[in-house]
């Protein structure tokens, strides 16, 4: 048991993240100690509000401590002038004092001022606190992190719906939003902070207020590729080993990107991946039943909208507002909308005879590739314009009819506002993605012929 505890502590150690960042060429600048401290800062002993300092000399990843009064904590063999304070002012080296004007002078050198090495104050102000040695690694992991962001979902799910397989895509979306909700809700229940900075360099300030365990990027980055591999292999004939390698590469890239960007510990990543390994086998046996019900049953929208909406209302209360609940509400709205759009297609008689499986997977023709891009070029702007128009209408209704000040940050953080400003617009946008925009493609003659044939499963499944 002690060994397991030691392993957990090791995997959760922020210095493990920092060492990985240094290995990948990401390190602090020499003068980075002037940065504001992280809100998650705590000492190695785990006590909040204790002071943490760097040695900015031989090894900037080691730390020494000062108490709240600026006195050096005992049992440190290094002198305090080698340490750079992060959250309170560091004690001055011996013989240095400060004038009323705030200038530091050295009494041992005739009271001469200590010169500021920066001739232009704006240089230090605008200087990045970190340096990137290997730009290729930075761009690679930035791309990996983007595979778990909203912008990626905005283009990826419409792409696979319109261009690959409607039937498989619906199921992947269901797995995605369930996994995402469970991951985000678990974060706000467990309330484990992200790795402390320093020693970790955080490159995504947007997520800093969210909790860290489990990593939802790692969860989604495991759920999507392996769900696609499993479901596509049921319908298409392709080398499974190649698909497995691609899925592993996808998951690995996203997971390592979260460590490189300083947003998660290794433990957060491992817990996220293991969490998905539990969730997916529990849902897969019922996935076909859920999909068939949501597409064909006359009252399905009451459940496909009502259950996600209820889950949003039941989202765990947060001590301090962050973007997790809002983002989760938005993305769950997308999942509900895709189910409702599929239901509308079936109810209006668009379903055609399904084709036999497995289908040999062939390299698409040049014309098919061009049509894929045309569908994206036309469909994505329609989708984005719809979202902005709906949000504009909803915000004006809130402002002019109900007298709600939508510019008030407190109002924006209310759960009811998040539901109206995030869930409702993107519910309608997702309905448009699966129902309205494919009709436009049909009118323009750029539709995918098998789109409506994928509303229902083949008899052999």
How many domains does the structure of the chain reveal? Answer: 3
pLDDT in tens, 76-125: 444 434 443 333 343 444 444 444 444 444 444 444 444 444 445 455 55
Residue 216 lies in a domain: yes
Closest alpha carbon to 26 in 298, 262, 372, 317? 262
Co-location of 195 and 171 in the same domain: yes
Whether 47 is covered by a domain: the verdict is: yes
Q: Given a cut of 70, is residue 268 above it in pLDDT?
A: yes
35/119 same-domain check: no
Whether 198 and 227 map to the same domain: the answer is yes
Which domain, by its residues, includes 66?
A: 31-91
Give the pair of three-digit tokens for residue 287: 């996935």
Tell me, yes or no, whether 64 and 143 share the same domain: no
Shared-domain flag, residues 66 and 102 = no
Residue 24 lies in a domain: no
| DSSP conformation letters of 49-86 | T---EEE-SS-TT-EE-B-TTSPBPSS--S-GGGEEES
Three-class secondary structure of residue 130 per DSSP: strand
Active site residues: 217, 264
Q: What is the pLDDT of residues 435-458, one digit of tens each?
A: 999 999 999 988 888 888 888 876
Let me know: does 82 contact 55? Beta carbons within 8 Å: yes
pTM: 0.75
pLDDT at 324 over 50: yes
Same domain, 148 and 85: no
CB 340: neighbour CB atoms within 10 A? 20
Same domain, 279 and 175: yes
Closest CA to 94 of 68, 72, 121, 117: 72
Nearest to 203 by CA among 461, 17, 398: 17
Question: 118 and 208 share a domain?
Answer: no
Residues 11, 2: Cα–Cα separation, whole Å: 14
Residue at 368 is within a domain: yes
User: Residue 9: inside a domain, yes or no?
Assistant: no
Residues 420 and 336 in one domain: yes
Q: Is residue 23 part of a domain?
A: no
Q: What angle do CA 61, 66, 70 make, to 5 degrees?
A: 135
Same domain, 59 and 186: no
pLDDT band at 349 (very low <50, low <70, confident <90, very high): confident
Q: Which of 108, 127, 146 is the last residue of a domain?
A: 127
* Whole-angstrom distance, CA of residue 29 vs CA of residue 201: 11
Same domain for 100 and 194, yes or no, is: no
Element (H, E) at 236: strand 236-237
Q: Mind listing the pLDDT tens digit for each residue in 197-255?
A: 778 888 877 777 778 889 889 999 999 999 999 999 888 888 899 999 999 999 999 99
* Whether residue 162 is found in the same domain as residue 116: no
């Amino acid at each position: 048991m002690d060994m397991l505890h030691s392993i957990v502590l090791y995997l959760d150690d922020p210095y493990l993240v920092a060492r990985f960042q240094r290995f990948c060429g990401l390190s602090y600048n020499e003068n980075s100690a002037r940065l504001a401290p992280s809100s998650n800062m705590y000492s190695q002993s785990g006590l909040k509000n204790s002071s943490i300092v760097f040695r900015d000399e031989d090894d900037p990843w080691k730390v020494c401590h000062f108490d709240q009064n600026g006195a050096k904590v005992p049992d440190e063999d290094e002198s305090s002038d080698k340490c750079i304070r992060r959250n309170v002012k560091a004690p001055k080296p011996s013989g240095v004092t400060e004038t009323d004007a705030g200038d530091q002078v050295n009494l041992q050198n005739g009271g001469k001022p200590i010169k500021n090495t920066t001739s232009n104050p704006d240089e230090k102000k605008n200087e990045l606190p970190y340096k990137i040695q290997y730009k290729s690694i930075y761009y690679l992991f930035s791309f990996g992190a983007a595979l778990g962001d909203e912008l990626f979902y905005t283009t990826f799910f419409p792409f696979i719906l319109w261009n690959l397989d409607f039937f498989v895509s619906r199921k992947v979306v269901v797995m995605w939003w369930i996994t995402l909700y469970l991951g985000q809700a678990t974060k706000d229940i467990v309330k484990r902070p992200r790795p402390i900075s320093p020693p970790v360099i955080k490159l995504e300030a947007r997520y800093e207020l969210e909790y860290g365990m489990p990593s939802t990027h790692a969860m989604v980055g495991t759920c999507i590729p392996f769900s696609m591999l499993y479901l596509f292999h049921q319908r298409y004939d392709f080398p499974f080993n190649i698909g497995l390698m691609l899925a592993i590469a996808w998951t690995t890239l996203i997971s390592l990107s979260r460590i490189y960007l300083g947003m998660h510990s290794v433990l957060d990543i491992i817990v996220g991946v293991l969490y998905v390994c539990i969730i997916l086998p529990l849902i897969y046996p019922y996935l076909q039943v859920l999909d068939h019900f949501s597409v064909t049953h006359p009252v399905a929208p009451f459940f496909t909208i009502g259950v996600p909406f209820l889950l949003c209302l039941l989202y765990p209360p947060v001590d301090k507002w962050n973007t997790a609940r809002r983002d989760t509400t938005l993305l769950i709205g997308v999942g509900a909308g895709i189910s409702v759009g599929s239901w509308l297609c079936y109810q209006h008689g668009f379903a055609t005879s399904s084709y036999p499986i497995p289908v040999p997977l062939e390299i698409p023709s040049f014309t098919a590739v061009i049509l894929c891009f045309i569908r994206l070029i036309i469909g994505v702007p329609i989708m984005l314009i719809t979202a902005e128009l709906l949000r504009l209408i909803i915000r004006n209704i809130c402002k002019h009819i109900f007298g709600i000040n939508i510019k008030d940050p407190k109002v924006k953080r209310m759960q009811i506002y998040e539901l109206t400003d995030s869930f409702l617009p993107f519910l309608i946008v997702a309905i448009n993605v699966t129902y309205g925009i494919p009709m436009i493609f049909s009118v323009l003659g750029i539709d995918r012929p098998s789109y409506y044939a994928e509303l229902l499963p083949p008899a052999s499944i």
